[in-house]
Amino acid sequence: MPTITYCHPNGSRDVVDVVPGTTVMRGAVMNGIDGIVGECGGQAMCATCHVYVHSEFLDELPEPNDDEEEMLEETAAPRDEERSRLGCQLKMGSRIPAIVVDVPETQVAS
């Protein structure tokens, strides 16, 4: 089973196993991982599933499409040009059997 590791700003970690096809956003929402909201249900509409992917996994990820690019400009926490992605666009499977992401301080602009 693919494994997603969520690293929190306070240093704690959550590790969850998911069925193939599960996105990083869905894995978090299903498992109650704090700090990932997924308000739009995974349509790249709300930028509340922003994560920073650990560098060693970046090569395996497909490039963000235009919509994701635009939403990444709108994240509540600062965008990291290299590592910022929307969790709803990162689908786990044979190509990405494991991933480690940092969860940002906030998902919701105040």
Nearest distance from C-beta of residue 74 to other proteins, angstroms: 6
Q: Which stretch binds other proteins (CB under 8 A): 15-23, 52-60, 79-87, 94-102?
A: 15-23
Query: What is the residue type of 65?
Result: N
* 93: nearest Cα among 13, 26, 10, 46: 26
- Which residues, in sequence order, are CB contacts of 2 under 8 Å at separation 6+? 17, 18, 19, 20, 22, 92, 93, 96, 97, 98, 99
Pick from 1, 13, 15, 41 the residue near other proteins by CB under 8 A: 41
Q: Which stretch binds other proteins (CB under 8 A): 4-12, 43-51, 76-84, 99-107?
A: 43-51
Residues that bind other proteins (CB under 8 A): 19, 21-22, 26, 29-33, 38-45, 66-67, 70-71, 73-74
